[in-house]
Structure 1
Amino acid sequence: MTVQDLRQLLETNDLPALQDWLARHHPHEIADELGRADAVRAVLLFRLLDKDRALAVFEELGPSDQHKVLSGLRDQAFRDVLEAMDPDDRARLLGEAPAKFARHVLAGLSPRERTMTAALLGYPDGSAGRYMTPETVALRHHLTVGDALQVVRERGADAETVYTLPVIDDQRHFLGTLSLRDLVLNPPDRQVVELTDTTTPRVRATDPAETAARLMQEANLLDLPVVDSEDRVLGLLTIDDAVEVIEAADTEDIARQSAAAPWSGHYMSASVVQLARSRAVWLLLLIFAATLTVNVLQFFEATLEQVTALALFIPLLVGTGGNAGAQAATAAVRALAVGEVRTRDLLRVAWRESRVGLVLGTMLAAVGLGIGTLLVDFPVAATVALSLILVCGWAATIGATMPLLAKRLGIDPAVISAPLVTTLVDATGLIIYFLLARLVLGL
């Protein structure tokens, strides 16, 4: 049965057939369809799921889609779903929800779940503390393997994960980690402290969640310990949450690099007005930035009147310069995101990209000189070729350094989007072109 069949079943309200469809599909597939559906149909599908499967589907939804489903549930079903959620997932849901909704949720939770959720909500938005799970099994360093296994058996059912076990001293200070594999494969009388990996990295609860998630990616970790300012273990950042953090960060960067504001929720469930609103502000800003290009053309109007052939190559120059700048900006933002460059590398990146731009410009200049000679006289073609070299070098330098400067000033580097770089390079590229034309052509 296809997705198209599902939509037909929703139209006809064929409940037995809908239940059959839900039984045949995985939770992530069902969650995708709930994200696509409007609130009424999403709640209808969700209510047809049994309790365990409903929770699995709910955890696959993003916070905005979770709120959409919860808004249509009755009080008891509402409380059952929220009570069964992991504390970190619940904290992220409430962090993006209206304050009234968050208070209503907290009031309906059991004391234990309310305490854990409130503690996570006390950490800054976007921090590792918001994403960590406090439901972990920590082992005292003086335990034997046999005693440690007994602790895992007794407390493991209430933990989100037991694959990575933080090892602590009597004051809960972090000493390292022990994997469940090593625990199971060693003799019962061996000491936990002998098996502890003391090189395992950890992060503070107030550190950015994206930084922590990137660290897990680089170090190939399943779980990352999260500690407080005194190095006491608070919880673990698990790999599934780290993947979500990286996906959200990359999604936001892609939106900003394309000159749009990021939005939450499923694309297919977003209204036309929502999508337009996410792009409108940036387009208005780019319109104002584009007036620089108009002013440059107006300033060099006399030069164009003397050699009208120069106008033929304006689209070629601004297009090439904009593309070169956009390529460099995208590469710089990506390198910053994954930690390959830092703000202190600004001068090195500028020197590197300026040479890359000059090499690319030289290659394009050879092509431009040949095409230009066929269309106009050689002096104009030579002007275009030289301009391509300088414009590409300038564009690559500007495109690569602007994100690093933004990072140094505390601005999200992704805000320095490719369209913004392109618009700025258009205006400055034309200045280079016309000044070079005056020099070469003697105007």
Structure 2
Amino acid sequence: MARDDASVVEHGFVRDLTRLIDEHRLDEASALLAAQPDHVLGNELGRLDDVPMAIAFRLLEKDTGIEVFEELDGFDQQRLLESLRDETFHDVVEGMDPDDRARMLQEAPAKVVKGVLAGLSPAERAMTARLLGYPKGSVGRVMTPEVLAVPAHATAAEALGVVRRKGGGAENVYTLAAVDHARHVVGVVELGSLVVAQPEALVKELVEPNAVLVHAAESAEDAARLMRETNAYNLLVVDSEDRLVGMLSVDDALEVIEEADSEDAALQAGSAPWAGHYMSVGVFRLARYRALWLSLLLVAATLTVSVTQAFESTLVQVAQLALFIPMLIGAGGNAGAQAATASVRALAIGELRFADLPRVAWRELRVGVLLGLMLALLGLGVGALFVGPRIALVVAISLVIICAWAATIGGAMPLLARKLRIDPAVVSAPLVTTLVDATGLVIYFLIAKAVLGL
């Protein structure tokens, strides 16, 4: 869809759909829904309140409804299913891919999961239960078990026959697993390789030489980012004995990365991550997600008050020092937040590991010094203009040291957090900023006492 078309949908679709539903003009609402692609409907229906969303969903064709349902966020899927307690409910859940169904159910109450599984056909129930048996956050939870395997000892012609007979039951047939008699993965073979090969060529001779496999218990986020690094469209998933159990497809990998990035963004901003479409989340729920972190940061900020009280006598002697406190802690906090954000991102995409801690600290220290020197020149000018050269010198020296300290701490803390098995995003920008505020004031006042002879 073109950018202009998307803009029209964004600004007019929900308004028009809501109006038609409120006016009970359901035929026109149905036509409006039919004119939009599935991915647009998945995004826009999430903006609706519960009742209009349920009504709009019932107006969709069955096949379209399943596709749109899979496009919804897991929280919005739960909202919708609470409104569907008839045959529509069972049709939608039965028609979902097993991995999408497992993702939807992983946050649901046990009673809901039990009821959904009981309503599925035996084959779909077995696949879904198997996926839910893997640890949360693992590849096993998000992979599709509907993967096509061909015998490694078969010829290309025989393998293509397997694809024709069984390909309809697989999520895709472009990446195939070459397996032995015990279903151990011998290698990965692409459909294109079979098509262009001589009919008598053996499958084991056509496998990709450097294909990567992942184990079902491994992190889904790590596997998804591995796909990006290897430019793979699909990754075969094996168990602890290298037997084929599923496949991680590129569309599922993109959803995993989007979810992980959204969580990191929320944590870096000092908020608990929320589920569901932003426009459908109530203000009280948003406030609840943010309140805990703001409260913790407020308590942590009392360190700044304690530091100010400890150096109260210094401020009394040279009251002009107080003028520069906001500037100094702001500069330090921003420098620390920048370094922390860069470090968290590098960790997330695999560019950093704990062994890099000394190099990261040394690198950020030098960056902080350079930033501090640039800011110190500005500080000297401002300070000399308003309060005289001696206090301006205090401000300039403080800026260099505070920026160097803040950048070093900001770059190192995410690596230390990862080593301690804490989400690096949790200790990033807000917490680093709060810590640097307090320590920056200590640096400032100590330098003032030394330079001014207090």
Q: TM-score range by the shorter chain?
A: over 0.9
**Aligned ranges 1:223-262 → 2 under 5 Å:** 223-262=234-273
- Correspondences of 1:11-410 after superposition (within 5 Å): 11-410=22-421
2:214–2:236 contact (8 Å) kept in structure 1: yes
Partner letter of residue 278 of structure 2? Y
Runs of 4+ in 1 over 6 A off after TM superposition: none
- Structure-1 separation of matches of 2:169 and 2:318: 79
Give, as a single letter, the amino acid of the residue that structure 2 aligns with 1:187. Q
TM-score between the two structures when normalised by the length of structure 1: 0.98
Percent of aligned pairs with the same amino acid: 59
Amino acid at match of 2:443: I
Cα distance per residue 1:157-197 (max 9 Å; x no partner): 01011110011112211121111111112222221111111
CA contact (8 A) 1:304 1:310 kept: yes
Q: Is the 8 A contact 1:176 1:199 kept in 2?
A: no
Distance 1:303 1:338 in 2: 46
Shift of 1:198: 3.3
Residues in 1 aligned to 2:131 and 2:233: alpha-carbon distance in whole angstroms: 21
SS of alignment partner, residue 301 of structure 2: helix
Q: Report the secondary structure of 1:36's partner residue.
A: coil
Which residue of the partner structure matches residue 6 of structure 2?
A: none
Distance 2:18 2:124 in 1: 37
Matches of 1:336 and 1:320, distance apart in 2: 24
Equivalent pair of 2:372/2:403 in contact (CA under 8 Å): yes
CA contact (8 A) 1:351 1:397 kept: yes
Q: Distance in 1 between matches of 2:71 and 2:117?
A: 21
Is 1:413 the counterpart of 2:433 in the alignment?
no
Give me the whole-angstrom Cα distance separating, in 2, the residues matched to 1:372 and 1:330. Answer: 30
Aligned length: 443
Q: For residue 31 of structure 1, what is the amino acid of its counterpart?
A: G
Moved more, 358-367 or 67-76: 67-76
Question: What is the alpha-carbon distance in structure 2 between the residues aligned to residue 162 and residue 401 of structure 1?
Answer: 45
CA apart distance, 1:319: 0.4
* In 2, Cα distance between equivalents of 1:202 and 1:52: 33
- How far does the alpha carbon of each residue in 1:293-346 deviate from its partner, in whole angstroms, 9 at most, with x for none? 001111111111111111111111000000000000101110100010001111
What are the superposed Cα offsets for residues 105-135 of structure 1, whole Å, 9 maximum, x if unpaired?
1101111111111111110011000011110
Which secondary structure state, in structure 2, belongs to the residue aligned with residue 37 of structure 1? coil
- Report the TM-score, using the length of structure 2 for normalisation: 0.96
Are the aligned partners of 1:175 and 1:198 in contact in 2 as well (CA < 8 Å)? no
Separation in structure 2 between the aligned mates of residue 22 and residue 183 of structure 1, nearest angstrom:
41
The aligned amino acid for 1:353 is: E
For the Cα contact (< 8 Å) 1:139–1:167, is it kept in 2? Answer: yes
Structure 2 counterpart of 1:238, one-letter code: S
**Aligned amino acid, residue 143 of structure 2:** M
Whether the 8 Å contact between 2:143 and 2:246 is mirrored in structure 1 is yes
- Name whichever of 165-174 and 381-390 sits farther off: 165-174
Distance in 1 separating the partners of 2:23 and 2:44: 17
CA contact (8 A) 2:220 2:256 kept: yes
For 2:440, the equivalent position in structure 1 comes to 429
Which letter does structure 2 place at the counterpart of 1:63?
Answer: G
Secondary structure of 1:225's match? strand
Q: CA deviation at 1:33?
A: 2.1
Secondary structure class of the residue paired with 1:71: helix
- The corresponding residue for 2:16 is 5
- CA shift, 1:75, in A, is 2.9
Q: Over aligned residue pairs, what C-alpha RMSD do you find?
A: 1.0
Distance between the aligned counterparts of 2:389 and 2:22, measured in 1?
68
Deviates more, 1:251-260 or 1:31-40: 31-40
Unaligned runs of at least 5 residues, structure 1: none
CA contact (8 A) 2:237 2:245 kept: yes
- Distance in 2 (alpha carbons) for counterparts of 1:8 and 1:436: 65
| Amino acid of the structure 1 residue aligned with 2:425 | A
Q: Partners of 2:78 and 2:162 in 1: how far apart?
A: 37
Deviations 1:233-267 (A, max 9, x none): 11100000000000000000000000000011111
2:18–2:52: 8 Å Cα contact kept in structure 1? no
Of stretches 1-10 and 321-330 in structure 1, the one that deviates more from structure 2 is 1-10
One-letter identity of the residue aligned with 1:344: A
Give CA deviations for 1:37-56 in whole Å, capped at 9, x if unaligned. Answer: 11111110010011111111
Q: Could you tell me which residue of structure 2 aligns to residue 441 of structure 1?
A: 452
